[in-house]
Structure 1
Amino acid sequence: MDLGLTGKRAVVTGASRGIGLAVALGLAAEGADVALVARDRAALDAAAGRVGGLGVRALPVVADTSDDAAVRAMVDRVVAEWGGVDVLVNAAATPAGGPVPALADLTDDAMRAEFETKVLGYLRCARAVAPHMVAQGGGRIVNVSGLAARQSGSIAGSVRNVAVAALTKNLADELGPAGVGVTVVHPGLTVTERIPALFAARAEAQDTTPDEVAAAFGAATSIGRLPTAEEVADVVVFLCSPRSVAVTGDAVAAGGGARGAIHY
């Protein structure tokens, strides 16, 4: 199937590593030009080199999505160089998977930090690209959230991801008549470059081995293992394409099938 992404102009935040980088590479493999956005210049340049190596235009832009002026400047640069934006993938967020504070230890500042990057950061990026998408007659926005939206265990994680889902539906309803589709993808724990250190830390804390930690996480999924960043990116890339027009305002889980949960 041709996804119809050849020549499309995509902006991917959080693109220097993890799921964001996998999405950038996936879009490039489908022929899209990709503006990669992140805070770490060295990592960003390395990622852009990989994307550009696939034969498309790669534009690395250093920007912090917690800064509205920086977000607007980033979008202005992409539009100035490429003439518009067809796709936005919001994937910039503080990493999940670390120690979860109890209620008594969860500070207001920690909650604000969760919202500043993931919820408000996604809003800022959508707000900056939306006028360009509306003016050109359409586009696609995909927000990478997380399965913490559907389960307890982390107050901050659940609240921020539920907020992203609510943001997504509101954007879809407002922008849909102008041809802009907006969806949210909920990954679970995903195999990225962070996983070896995370499993090692959990193994030490639980007096077990990293392999046993991995097996326990895998047993909680229908596929028996954690999905890779590339497998999550495949879902995101499809939702970025014109082929996904029938899906908007909805959430798509990409965690390998959480056992026991029923969503309808």
Structure 2
Amino acid sequence: MDLQLTGRRALVTGGSRGIGFAVGRALAREGAAVALVARDAAVVKERAAALAEETGATVVGIAADTGDDASVAAMADEAARLLGGVDILVNNAAKASPGAFPEDALEEQINVKVRGYLRTVRALAPGMAERGWGRVVNIAGLAARSSGSVVGSVRNAAVAAMSKNLADELGPQGVNVTVVHPGMTRTETQIGVIATRAADRGVPVEQVERELAASVSIGRIVEPDEVAAVVAFLASPLSVALNGDPIVPSGGARGAIHY
């Protein structure tokens, strides 16, 4: 299937690793020019160069802190200079935690993952609206649908609410906004969490992974590239029927029914 992304210009925050880097790869393979954004300038430029060599696409690295207004404004200017504009925004930047978030981390998490996402939308969506087409994909998480972490649930539920508001606002201007709730995904962070749990319990890593996989209906943990394939579709013109809607590439979390 041709996702009709050739010639489109995409920016992916949190793009130097995990789901963000996988999304950058998927978009580049589909013919988009891609800007990877992360806080560490050396790392993001190195990752962008590697991806450009791998895919043959235009891939650039931009250092920015989405928790800071001035940094996001500078990022938008740099993306315009390097790519000529941005048609697709994938918001993925967030501060991870190897375990449960402490409750005093709430303000920081809101600033980076919620207000940070909104900052980038406000910086880039006007150009999309002016051109009459754009896509915004906000990466949240299944903590939005379950208890167990006040901070995790609040930040992801807030991203979902923000996405629906933006979809209603920007949809008439040709800009679709969706929210993606990945479930357990084999990112660098998740691999570390599994290893820590195994060490704490004194059991093999494989045992912990089997237990976690049992909660997923496909019987295994989803890979970053599999989440990225879903995001690439949402970033394409073919996804026009989805706006404000939550998408859950979890492999099928067992139990709850959402309708």
TM-score range, shorter chain: over 0.9
Tell whether the 8 Å contact from 1:85 to 1:133 is kept in structure 2 after alignment.
yes
- What is the CA–CA distance in structure 1 between the aligned matches of 2:205 and 2:168, rounded to whole Å? 44
- What is the CA–CA distance in structure 2 between the aligned matches of 1:142 and 1:10, rounded to whole Å? 11
What letter matches 1:205 in structure 2? D
Three-state SS of the structure 2 residue aligned to 1:84 is coil
Shift of 1:206: 2.1
TM-score after normalising by structure 2: 0.97
Matching residue of 1:207: 202
Shift of 1:42: 2.5
Three-state SS of the structure 2 residue aligned to 1:189 is coil
Matching residue of 1:57: 58
Shift of 1:76: 1.4
Matching residue of 1:31: 31
Three-state SS of the structure 2 residue aligned to 1:246 is coil
1:217 aligns with 2:247: no
Unaligned runs of 5+ in 1: none
Matching residue of 2:236: 241
- What is the CA–CA distance in structure 1 between the aligned matches of 2:34 and 2:213, rounded to whole Å? 32
Matching residue of 1:89: 90
- What is the CA–CA distance in structure 2 between the aligned matches of 1:231 and 1:77, rounded to whole Å? 30
Matching residue of 1:163: 158
Three-state SS of the structure 2 residue aligned to 1:36 is strand
- What is the CA–CA distance in structure 2 between the aligned matches of 1:245 and 1:112, rounded to whole Å? 34
Q: Deviations over 1:43-93 (max 9, x none)?
A: 212210122121111121100000111111111121233322110000000
Shift of 1:119: 0.3
Q: How many residues are paired up?
A: 258
What letter matches 2:20 in structure 1? G
Q: Deviations over 1:193-226 (max 9, x none)?
A: 2333221210122232211110111000011111
Shift of 1:256: 1.0
Structure 1's consecutive aligned runs of 4 or more residues displaced over 6 angstroms after TM superposition are none
Superposed, 1:164-179 pairs within 5 Å as 164-179=159-174
Q: Percent identity?
A: 55
- What is the CA–CA distance in structure 2 between the aligned matches of 1:258 and 1:29, rounded to whole Å? 29
Tell whether the 8 Å contact from 2:98 to 2:189 is kept in structure 1 after alignment.
no
Unaligned runs of 5+ in 2: none
Superposed, 1:1-264 pairs within 5 Å as 1-53=1-53, 54-96=55-97, 98-101=99-102, 106-107=103-104, 110-264=105-259
Three-state SS of the structure 2 residue aligned to 1:10 is strand
RMSD: 1.2
Three-state SS of the structure 2 residue aligned to 1:215 is helix
